[in-house]
Amino acid sequence: MRYWISWNQPSDDYRPMTVPDESTSGILGYWCSSKGIEYWTLCALIEAGSKELAETLITNKKHWPDAGKWRFCKEQADGWEPKQHKEQMARIGSRHESRCIGHPDGK
């Protein structure tokens, strides 16, 4: 099953601790949607067997262990991809990187 998930990331840098391997992590891509005063708002497309497993993949110590408040975790149809911001979504395993206003590296 695919899940479209979003959370608040309370850190100076929204990028994962290590880049998830799409073939083994279940994280198909992630996207930074905005920056708040004390957190970034992130979204990700996840392949997982349940909502709970999708959330666990995000909070894995290799990725975003300090993930904050969940905004949503919605089950989607097989093959589903977000229509909006499709080009901005960071594809795991590619050289394309998610871009966000206020990116810590100024991108």
Q: What is the pLDDT of residues 52-94, one digit of tens each?
A: 999 999 998 888 998 889 999 999 998 888 876 555 554 444 4
Q: What is the DSSP letter of 67?
A: -
**Domain assignment of residue 64, given as a range:** 2-91
User: Is 12 within the bounds of a domain?
Assistant: yes
Is position 102 within any domain? no
Please state the domain count of the chain: 1
Q: Does any domain span residue 107? A: no
pLDDT on residue 84:
60
pLDDT reported for residue 29: 86
- Does residue 68 lie in a domain region? yes
Residue 100 is predicted with a pLDDT of: 42
Dihedral angle sign, alpha carbons of residues 32, 57, 17, 79: negative
Query: Is residue 100 domain-resident?
Result: no
pTM: 0.75
Say yes or no to pLDDT of 6 above 90.
Answer: yes
Q: Give the pLDDT confidence score for residue 48 in this predicted structure.
A: 94
